[in-house]
Structure 1
């Protein structure tokens, strides 16, 4: 498995893990008789502060996937994983770090740290766009 394929799978797995934690919390509330299954607001505004951060961390993963996931998938389909492999683990690490900081705090410092991890991902994605275009034109 290439580093790009591993990072793509890791990104999907991380997004799924966040969803499973969120759904476990909600299931516990329903099964414990504390909430009705039809009482959860879609925007998560009625969740605990941690539940709201979890919902946003999961949504951030989904929002970024069309860019990050598509670039990795494109590299794999075009057999250009050599272009994305060196930075793929760093993209995954930055994604997990961004989500983790989001889960822990929403302080101004945490937001700045979270944005830094997001900026790393955007920088990698921009680099990949250029590098994949160049490799595609050269090949």
Structure 2
């Protein structure tokens, strides 16, 4: 069975979010096991682990916040047999999501914030394009 690019992107978005949460759990687990942090000392927003830990928490949260949007549109296209609309840009969407997260993890310097924004903007433009096409407005 061959998966469509839309299905691969959908699974990829979930897998990427899962990978980030596994890295987050590992990062926090190591802090607990090393005695650096109490098991109940982690803020949900990552503020209790400044630097990489906070960026990791925000990158994961951003994936979780946006996953329902992408999931709904990709699933709609697949269920209605309209993947010809989403297939061409589905790999680009997944790549832009991964780039955005990697830029988030790398740094908060202005260059990386701009790169992160560019990755997010690509995703938003693709999502808007898909919605317009799926609604029959384009």
Runs of 5+ consecutive residues of structure 1 not aligned to the other structure: none
1:13 aligns with 2:15: yes
CA distance in structure 2 between the aligned counterparts of 1:97 and 1:43, rounded to whole angstroms = 21
Name the SS of the counterpart of 1:12 in structure 2: helix
Q: Which runs of 5+ in 2 are unaligned?
A: none
Which stretches of structure 1, 4 residues or longer, exceed 6 Å deviation after superposition? none
Q: Which moved more, 1:122-131 or 1:71-80?
A: 71-80
Query: Does residue 84 of structure 2 align to residue 53 of structure 1?
Result: no
Aligned pairs, how many?
135
2:15 corresponds to 1:25? no
Return the TM-score normalized by structure 2.
0.93
Give the CA deviation at 1:47.
Answer: 0.5
Within 5 A, what are the aligned runs for 1:35-114?
A: 35-114=37-116
Q: How many Å separate the matches in 2 of 1:109 and 1:16?
A: 27
Give deviations 1:31-83, integer Å, cap 9, x for gaps. 22322211112221110300100111111111111211211111111121111
- Normalised by the length of structure 1, the TM-score is 0.92
